[in-house]
Amino acid sequence: MTKRKSRKPTPEDRARSMFHSELGKYLREKRIDRGLSQKQVSEACGLLNGQFISNIERGSCATPPYMLAVMVELYKIRKSDFLSKITLLEKYFYREIIFQ
């Protein structure tokens, strides 16, 4: 079996990772503020267990848009506050890629 060479992360990879990590932290904070478990959120999103919610909150994966909509409603986040947070994260993401 041959070893696969791992490629060096690009600025885009690092920025994307930061975006998912920061969004995950924000969503985790909002979930905890509402007193909800990961299992409760996963059930509201139509999932079988809380593992995917855990992955999102750790920044390990992207959050599907339909799940963001469910979470915003479930966590009672004002839409304007959520859009402000996403805009700030997107601004940082593109700044890191374009003006590295």
Architecture of domain 11-98: Orthogonal Bundle (1.10)
Q: State residue 3's pLDDT score.
A: 65
- Whole-model pTM? 0.87
pLDDT tens digits, 64-75: 999 999 999 999
pLDDT tens digits, 72-88: 999 999 999 999 999 99
Q: Give the separation between CA 9 and CA 69, rounded to whole angstroms.
A: 30
Q: Give the separation between CA 28 and CA 8, rounded to whole angstroms.
A: 29
More confident residue, 2 or 52: 52
Q: Which two tokens stand for residue 10?
A: 């690009």
Spatial CB neighbours of 49, under 8 Å, sequence gap ≥ 6: 39, 42
The ranges assigned to domains in the chain are 11-98
The mean pLDDT value of the chain amounts to 91
pLDDT tens digits, 15-63: 889 999 999 999 999 999 999 999 999 999 999 988 999 999 999 999 9
Spatial CB neighbours of 74, under 8 Å, sequence gap ≥ 6: 34, 36, 41, 44
